Amino acid sequence: MFHGSLVALVTPMHADGSIDFASLEKLLDWQCENKTDGLVILGTTGESATIENHERREIITLSIARVKHKMPVIVGTGTNSTMHTIELTREAMSLGADAVLLVTPYYNKPTQEGLFQHYRAIAKAISIPQILYNVPSRTCCDLLPKTISRLSQYANIIGVKEAMGDSNRLKKLLEMNLKMDFYSGDDATAMEFMLQGGQGVISVAANVAPKLFHELGVAALNKDRALAEKINQQLRELNKILFIETNPIPTKWALYKMGLIQSGIRLPLTQLSAQHEAKMEAVLKALFCTK
């Protein structure tokens, strides 16, 4: 349903931490101009854990209105409460989202049966297309292929974002011949993921280099390995540096230096450490992203 480079958008904030809606509009326009294939808001990179409910509604409404008919909008609605996730998912659908992204429940440490029942309940409650999100490094919870296979019976569960960066995991999923799409959640391995049969990448680095990630997606999905490798080489250092500290700290700093957003970020996340600034600057200048 969705293909190519889907940007996991940051949530712009003023220095005091309040939402900067003017910069959000600017960022959305910039993504559209650079041919990003899809928009993912209020995910990990969007600091969803510290966004209030009334702010969520405003962000969703503005984003959908701003990019209408230009790219699909996928909203992160996953929490570690099944009931709350259903509420947020229903709201996203009512506001016009094209799909939702559902991270595995964190902190609770559910069993595979618990994960199945969690996603089953959401799929049965709301008809909107749903993408499951597996990121064990953050949730201490791994959604296994056998559980994904069980969930494939629900037609509105349309895909999985797999952020482990493990090519063997994608291989296992593809071997099952499920009627699902698979998206990389790891920029460094996204090229191989798509060349091997994945449908796209939900990308952090596409915040900073949207055009290059769009071009990478086109090349990889067309199985043009030579061109994909050439583009991927240009992105290699960016993919590393944007994870020098916890995401989205480096990405927001980069966008601030590029003049696209202000410097705000919400506690418990803090500003980029001064010791990393020079290296970040060098990578950005090499990509011609800074003035």
Domains along the chain?
4-289 (3.20.20.70)
Determine the 3-state secondary structure of 77 from DSSP.
Answer: coil
Quick check: 64 and 73 in contact, CB under 8 A? yes
pLDDT of 289 reads 56
pLDDT in tens, 71-80: 999 999 999 9
pLDDT of 165 reads 84
33: CB partners within 8 A, 6+ apart: none
pLDDT of 104 reads 98
pLDDT of 1 reads 79
289: CB partners within 8 A, 6+ apart: 208, 209, 254, 258
Which residues make beta-bridge pairs with 8? 40
pLDDT in tens, 20-70: 999 999 999 999 999 999 999 999 999 999 999 999 999 999 999 999 889
Quick check: 193 and 223 in contact, CB under 8 A? no
Catalytically active residues are 133, 161
Distance separating alpha carbons of residues 11 and 89, to the nearest angstrom: 19
Quick check: 184 and 193 in contact, CB under 8 A? yes
* Residue ranges of the chain whose pLDDT lies below 50: 290-291
Distance separating alpha carbons of residues 264 and 269, to the nearest angstrom: 10
For residue 245, how many other CB atoms are within 10 A of its CB? Answer: 18
For residue 274, how many other CB atoms are within 10 A of its CB? Answer: 7
Distance separating alpha carbons of residues 192 and 190, to the nearest angstrom: 6
